[in-house]
Amino acid sequence: MSDAYDDEMAAEQAIFDQIARAEPLEEEQPQKLHSKGGRPSKVDPVKLVAWRQGRKASIAATAKHWNVSEATVKRLSREYAEAAEAERQRFQMERLDKELGAHEYDLRMMYVRQRSEHLSWVSFRWFGAEEAAGGTPKKDAVMVAKQAALDEADRQFREEWELRMGPVPGFSDSRD
């Protein structure tokens, strides 16, 4: 190989080295330091304190579980108690919101199922009259009467439901 090629490769490598020094890779970035400086933290202090508060664990048990010293647990408990309590409350509120949403969904499904079953029985009662009126001029009158009976049964079902169970969440005016 020629010296010119080696010189070009050396110049190119020098440029790559400058770029690497100027822009450290994400992996090479320093770890998060403790709030007051010093060496990097082993654990997330808020999670540690929230874990301790949530389980009412002793300092020794917390230190053993998180593999840190008891002095560290004491210090973090003093420094991060309020933040950990707020984090625990936020987590609990999210969990309760999900649980409430699941119960509201179950209530809506129960409402729809029972209403559908009730209206199908009312419709079934009109089956004979509908069959007898089929193909006659009375068919339209029977269908209007059947629809009126279904509307009345639906109204009564809604009133009874709201009297016993309250309004159905997710339905405006309890209507589909």
- Whether 2 maps to a domain, the answer reads no
- Whether 134 maps to a domain, the answer reads yes
Asked if 87 contacts 50 with a C-beta cutoff of 8 angstroms, the reply is yes
| pLDDT single digits (tens) 11-24 | 777 776 766 676 55
How far, in Å, CA of 57 to CA of 28, rounded? 36
- Whether 132 maps to a domain, the answer reads yes
- Whether 81 maps to a domain, the answer reads yes
Between 170 and 74, residue with greater pLDDT: 74
pTM over 0.75: no
Provide the residue range defining the domain that includes 64: 12-24+32-174
Number of domains in the chain: 1
- Whether 18 maps to a domain, the answer reads yes
| pLDDT single digits (tens) 26-75 | 544 444 555 566 677 778 898 899 889 889 999 999 999 999 999 999 99
- Whether 6 maps to a domain, the answer reads no
Dihedral angle sign, alpha carbons of residues 43, 47, 50, 54: negative
Give every CB contact of residue 41 below 8 A, 6+ residues apart in sequence. Answer: 31, 32, 33, 34
- Whether 5 maps to a domain, the answer reads no
| pLDDT single digits (tens) 104-129 | 899 999 999 999 999 999 999 988 88
- Whether 41 maps to a domain, the answer reads yes
How far, in Å, CA of 134 to CA of 142, rounded? 9
Between 4 and 55, residue with greater pLDDT: 55
Amino acid 34: pLDDT = 53
